[in-house]
Amino acid sequence: MYSLKKPKLGTDSKKGWPVYAMQMTSFYIIKDFFLISNYKTCINYSSNYYDTQSDLIDFLEKSKGEELASKKMILANAKELSNWIEEMKNEEYHELYVHSFIGIWSSFEAGLETIFSDYIENDFIVAKKILSKFNNVQYKIEEWPWTKDTCNVLASKLENKAKNLMKDRGHNRNYYERLTMIFEWLNIGFSLEDTDIYHLSEANKMRNIILHSNGVVSSKDVLDFPSLLEWENKTIPFTEIIYKNYYNAIINTLRGLIIEAGKKL
């Protein structure tokens, strides 16, 4: 999630371009991760909101000796909020984790494209290699360095290119392999623990399950990710454990990239 105040990273965006976008993406994702604890705290402190508003109205009415004109509306709104808070707790903050995860994954995907674009813009060898991956494009390596818009267009095409290549090899569900292929084109190699590799791919699938299937896990999803078997043909509850597994996989991916890209500085 973007912020109205751009963070100061301590890394120069020009001299430190190999890691700058990676660090910026990490900042926003970490910010989202810790923001959820603030939301939960606020929700918990508001648990007795209806009772508090009711007591306040009683006090005001006794002080004035007359019924408060907006009493019914205030209490109705307070009751609605209190019911929502109770629902959030009963569902173990499912909606909160879903919203935060979608924000984190969106930041991750957008950040990756920015990273790709920066490398195409600043590294001639990378730009030449990326151009060789596409047929019938209007760009010429002789005209490099290209405009930022051109670099962004090429960057936006990379994931689909890698995805199609992975599909040809029968590895379409492995999001980690897709990323490593792209970063090899950028001359960056990185690795993840097996657990993070699995959760990163599952997180990519979960993003689609949430946005395209309203959280209902299909038999195909289970075939790709057996850990989802419990919720086959059901709406999956987005728990704290699932949320943290996906967050750790994403942030560890960025951490690994920063370490490897930092060697270029």
Instruction: Find out whether 190 and 174 touch, Cβ atoms under 8 Å.
Output: no
Give the H or E element holding residue 150: helix 148-168
Domain definitions of the chain by residue range: 17-33+92-262, 46-90
Q: Per-residue pLDDT for 92 more than 70?
A: yes
- Separation of alpha carbons 203 and 207, rounded Å: 6
Residue type, 257: L
* Banded model confidence at residue 172, pLDDT cuts 50, 70, 90: low
Tens-place pLDDT, residues 243-255:
999 999 999 999 9
- Residue 216 pairs with which residues in a beta bridge? 235
pTM of the model: 0.92
Q: What is the pLDDT of residue 109?
A: 96
Look over the chain and give the mean of its residue pLDDT values, rounded to a whole number.
93
Q: What is the widest separation between alpha-carbon atoms in the chain?
A: 84
Instruction: Tell me the CB-side half-sphere exposure of residue 169, using CA atoms within 13 A.
Output: 13
Rounded average pLDDT over 107-125: 97
